[in-house]
Amino acid sequence: MAADASHGGGTGFPLVLLVEDTASLRLTYSAVLKAAGFEVEAAETGAEAIEKLRRCRPVLAVMDLMLPDRDGLDLLQTFQQIAPDTPLVVVTAHGSIDRAVSAMRAGAHEFLVKPVDRARLIEAVTHALKARSCVPAATLGGQRDTLPPFIGASPSMQETYRLIRSVARSMATVFITGESGTGKELCAEAVHRLSTRREKPFIALNCGAIPGDLLESEVFGHLKGSFTGAISDKQGAAAAADGGTLFLDEICEMDLNLQTKLLRFLQTSTITPVGATRARKLDVRIVCATNRDPEDEVRHGRFREDLFYRLHVVPIHMPPLRDRGEDVVELAQTLLERMAAEEGSTLNRIAPAVLDLFRALPWPGNVRQLINVLRNAVVLNEGPVLTPDMLPKRLQEQSASEACAAPSPPPAGNATAPEDPFRGWTLARIERMAIEAAIRRNDGSVPQAARELGVSPSTLYRKRQQWGECG
């Protein structure tokens, strides 16, 4: 009998367990699900839901987080213990989105905010069932030391791999944080490749590289003639990612007005291109990233709090290279071999002294800086072994300066304290040195240096123009 119930009691329709204590909503959700081809088993309380879960073996459960006899998060954990392969879609009131976020982190597939749109309910249920049936087990085992295309098996990266595998099956938005050069886009691509959307487009958009007045058009598209310069219709990144994944890099650079429109898109799954009067329905999963502290951006009013909670469902932090231990050795050797093959070079091994140096360096530019160093060495030198003298001069100088930077013992007795290194310098000179150093650390990127220094890129461009360094 239970076996039949899992398929709709012999009707052939998949059975959904609906847990909702409000009678009117229970009837509404049941009608929507039945109209979409599902059979529904409804429960009013947590206790009744557990009994029906054991007896009916549904293919999926839709569950309100506010129940009269039991906390929804506690019930979610019980569901996972009884039927770990049954996906869960949770429903919450607008003021309890933080609880829905906690449910997503605990393993729920998707959350819906009341009042629930009928189309969104069916969309969430459909995606949850697809994730249950279509993801190959081999991609979810989590037993490998690495996750392509990443290199390295340090403990910090193992945790990253675990989170990627865990979240890939769901519809949850992923919020990736980490310093510049740590591989945030690679992380987003890995989430996409392990998801049920892997055959659909992965579209990446850097919000920090596009002028604010053009960003809305880049995300949502525009119609011909909608503004000066719109000489033809343009498909935005969201529409291009339909069915797949939209990766919004440097999300904290997005203008507050556009943040409002992005929030509406997340809530309704519809977009309205610039100049259009009709909205278009899309099926897109959002993954975003930033090298800033998003919570600090919220506190300072630069990022909408409601959008933050909508996006920050499953956070993944990409560790800096200096915290990845021996990963830097594996990365360096693997990347050097690849670059040597690409350039037709014989420089494909690394001297022990260079590996010791690589272990000791702080790598402020992370993996991107390591790639830059190795590419420079391969292009300018012959092999077969990479030695310290082949490294870029700035790296050798950095190594030498750090070797000399060990703190000196405090002066004994009445000895004179060390002289102030900035004595006799003007403020303008100190400012210029700080700006130039930040630009060098960011491989010549003025926008990245500006973010590090907490100023706008236009400020740095203006100052460099005053110094006569750019025309």
For residues 60 and 467, the model is more confident at 60
Decide: pTM greater than 0.95.
no
131: tokens are 């994730």
Residue 353: domain span: 322-403
Task: Read off the pLDDT of residues 251-265 as tens digits, 9 standing for 90 and up.
Answer: 999 999 999 999 999
DSSP 417: P
User: Domain check: are 397 and 462 in the same one?
Assistant: no
Tell me whether residue 379 is in a domain.
Answer: yes
- Domain assignment present for residue 143? The answer is no
Please check whether residue 78 lies inside any domain of the structure: yes
The Cα–Cα gap between 211 and 110 comes to: 33
Check whether residue 162 and residue 190 sit in a common domain: yes
> In terms of domains, do 162 and 243 share one?
yes
Candidate from 86-90, 394-398, 466-470 with smallest mean pLDDT: 466-470
Q: End of a domain among 319, 338, 371? A: 319
Short-list 274, 282, 258, CA closest to 208: 258
Name the domain boundary from 319, 347, 369.
319
Q: Is the dihedral of CA 130, 133, 135, 140 positive or negative?
A: positive
**Is 362 part of any domain?**
yes
- Nearest Cα to Cα of residue 17 among 67, 44, 52: 52
Same structural domain, 397 and 449: no
Beta-carbon count within 10 A of 164 CB: 22
DSSP annotation of 409 reads P
Quickly tell me which residue has 């130039």 as its tokens: 436
| pLDDT above 50 (res 231) | yes
**Same-domain pairing of 186 and 122:** no
Give the domain CATH number at 41.
3.40.50.2300
Angstrom distance (rounded) from CA 199 to CA 5: 33
In a domain, 145, yes or no: no
| Closest C-alpha to 320, from 174, 162, 181 | 181
Among candidate residues 269, 302, 319, the one where a domain is terminated: 319
Q: How many distinct structural domains can be found in the chain?
A: 4
Q: Do 166 and 178 fall within a single domain?
A: yes
Q: Are residues 210 and 66 in the same domain?
A: no
The residue among 222, 312, 202 whose CA lies nearest residue 263 is 312
Residue 46 is assigned to a structural domain of this protein: yes
| Section 307-313 average pLDDT | 93
pLDDT per residue over 140-199, tens digit each? Answer: 333 345 787 899 988 899 989 989 988 888 888 999 999 999 999 999 999 999 998 999
- Identify whether residues 267 and 384 lie together within a single domain: no
Judgement on whether residues 326 and 447 belong to the same structural domain of the protein:
no
Query: For residue 247, what pLDDT is reported?
Result: 97
Q: What is the pLDDT of residues 38-57, one digit of tens each?
A: 899 999 999 999 999 999 88
Tell me: do 76 and 48 sit in the same domain.
yes
